[in-house]
Amino acid sequence: MSPRSNIILVVLGCLLIISCKEQASVQHKTEREASQLIAFEHDSLIYSQETHFSHLQQLTDGGDNAEAYWSFDNTMLTLQATNDDWDAECDQIFMYDLKKKTGLKYKPQLISTGLGRTTCSFFMPGDKEIIFASTHLVDDACPPVPERNHNGPYVWPIYESFDIFVSDMQGNIVRQLTDEPGYDAEATLSPAGDKIVFTSMRSGDLELYTMDIDGSNVKQVTDELGYDGGAFFSPDGTQLIYRASRPKTEAAVKMYKDLLQRGLVQPTQMELFICNVDGSNNRQLTRLGKANWAPYFHPSGKKVIFSSNHKSERGFPFNLFMINIDGSGLEQITYDNTFDSFAMFSYDGKYLAFSSNRNNGGTRATNLFVAEWKD
């Protein structure tokens, strides 16, 4: 056999090996994708109508885990939780590191003091600090929860002891951003990293305000009677989406004011509103009736995802819906029979974090889920 023939055989042999490897790689990838698809089809966590979810992962198991929001690098979540297993008698702020997740019994890092009650946390620029509201300066104990009266209205407490703080990732409070009498809470950050929006009672009503990330340059955004809260910035940082109640009749106005004097609000009639960051071009986005809340912008900035019970004959279920910012194209996203809310897209648009009562074994537990998102 000639040297050239030897070379040709060697080359053909290499090509055959490469071809076999490529076929094996493709076959392995196909088998892996097929097994994933089969798992998804039979995954009881995803309902068949939930076509925007290509995969759904449960992160917690037990307790009340809610309002989980992404870090700027999309590797961590900050959330508030009431969870006996985490020594949280009432809502405390935790940081969930997805890189360190070790199953449903993983205990995330405590960020708040463990005293009082906290709410509405969010990552600061650089993912080294977390902003949240807390009552711990007034009382170490958890503030009282309003009694459930089956004959009276369903209400949320508006604790006047809430102020807004910033903590480092080890749970040390490094700054206090508000020091006004009354409720200051529900702070979230602009994707641009320069502004904070929050809800405050400093005017005598629950209005939206913005401030710089150091707490300076406070500006009032809304000024109409009713509860304005749960605001988030658009991806480009130029607009705000928020929930609001708008009592109009004499009886509704009286009830709203009477409850507010007692530190309470009734969240059963809320619609979504959208405005520029300075409060201009303020307009109503939804007119669905009942409770429409917990809105968050789609990464495109052209849609909003939110929670609503407008299809429910009673108060439940709550499901996730999406709507264009011009009010068109309403689409149902989840099809749960209990509760889905607090949705936030990761900054890269690949994932959706939300809280749900699904797969809780018939308990009252609200758990944290992350879905792989597909438009």
Angle, CA of 134, 199 and 236, to the nearest 5°: 110
Q: Judge if 83 and 19 occupy the same domain.
A: no
- Confidence band, pLDDT 50/70/90 cuts, at residue 43: low
Higher pLDDT, 210 or 30: 210
In this structure, of 62-71, 100-109, 284-293, the range with the lowest mean pLDDT score is 100-109
- Confidence band, pLDDT 50/70/90 cuts, at residue 258: very high
Q: What is the pLDDT of residue 39?
A: 31
pLDDT in tens, 301-348: 999 999 999 999 888 899 999 999 999 999 999 999 999 999 999 999
User: In the chain, how many domains are there?
Assistant: 2
Q: Judge if 2 and 76 occupy the same domain.
A: no
pLDDT in tens, 347-361: 999 999 999 999 999
Domain that holds residue 213: 54-373
Q: Judge if 70 and 35 occupy the same domain.
A: no
Q: Does residue 47 belong to any structural domain of this protein?
A: no
Q: Judge if 192 and 341 occupy the same domain.
A: yes
Q: What is the pLDDT of residue 2?
A: 44
- Phi, psi (5° rounding) for residue 369? -130, 150
- Confidence band, pLDDT 50/70/90 cuts, at residue 101: confident
- Confidence band, pLDDT 50/70/90 cuts, at residue 284: very high
Q: Judge if 142 and 234 occupy the same domain.
A: yes
Q: Judge if 262 and 317 occupy the same domain.
A: yes
Q: Which helix (H) or strand (E) holds 120?
A: strand 118-123
Find the DSSP H helices in the chain: 3-41, 250-261
Q: Does residue 180 belong to any structural domain of this protein?
A: yes
> Has residue 52 got a pLDDT over 80?
yes
Q: Does residue 48 belong to any structural domain of this protein?
A: no
If one counts every other C-beta atom within 10 angstroms of the C-beta of residue 41, the result is: 9
Average pLDDT, the chain: 89
Question: 295: cis peptide before it, omega within 30°?
Answer: no
pLDDT in tens, 106-131: 999 999 999 999 999 999 999 999 99
Q: Judge if 67 and 29 occupy the same domain.
A: no
> Has residue 193 got a pLDDT over 70?
yes
- Confidence band, pLDDT 50/70/90 cuts, at residue 18: very low
In sequence order, which residues have a C-beta less than 8 Å from that of residue 113 and are 6 or more positions away? 134, 136, 171, 173
* pTM metric for this prediction: 0.87
Q: Give 167's Cβ-side CA count (13 Å radius).
A: 25
> Has residue 32 got a pLDDT over 90?
no
CATH code (residue 145): 2.120.10.30
Q: What is the separation, in whole angstroms, between the first and last Cα of the chain? A: 60
Q: Judge if 167 and 265 occupy the same domain.
A: yes
Q: What is the pLDDT of residue 255?
A: 96
Q: Judge if 27 and 69 occupy the same domain.
A: no
Q: What is the pLDDT of residue 116?
A: 97
Supply 337's token pair. Answer: 């029979």
Q: Judge if 95 and 30 occupy the same domain.
A: no
The span from the CA of 147 to the CA of 154, in Å, is: 9
Q: Are 109 and 87 in contact (CB under 8 A)?
A: no
Residue/partner pairs of 32-40 with CB below 8 Å, 24 or more apart: none
> Has residue 6 got a pLDDT over 50?
no
Residue/partner pairs of 45-53 with CB below 8 Å, 24 or more apart: 45/358, 45/359, 45/369, 47/334, 47/335, 47/336, 49/332, 49/335, 50/333, 50/334, 50/335, 51/374, 52/333, 52/352, 52/371, 52/373, 52/374, 52/375, 53/352, 53/371, 53/372, 53/373, 53/374
In this structure, of 37-41, 61-65, 107-111, 361-365, the range with the lowest mean pLDDT score is 37-41
Q: What is the pLDDT of residue 146?
A: 86
How distant, in Å, are the alpha carbons of 82, 204, 248 from that of 256? 28, 12, 10
Matching residue, tokens 């109640």: 245
Higher pLDDT, 43 or 113: 113
- Confidence band, pLDDT 50/70/90 cuts, at residue 21: very low
Q: What is the pLDDT of residue 147?
A: 81
Q: Judge if 89 and 219 occupy the same domain.
A: yes
Q: Does residue 49 belong to any structural domain of this protein?
A: no
How distant, in Å, are the alpha carbons of 95, 191, 244, 281, 293 from that of 222? 31, 21, 10, 11, 17
Q: Are 142 and 177 in contact (CB under 8 A)?
A: no
pLDDT in tens, 125-157: 999 999 999 999 999 999 999 887 767 788 999
Supply 217's token pair. Answer: 């340059």
Q: What is the pLDDT of residue 34?
A: 35
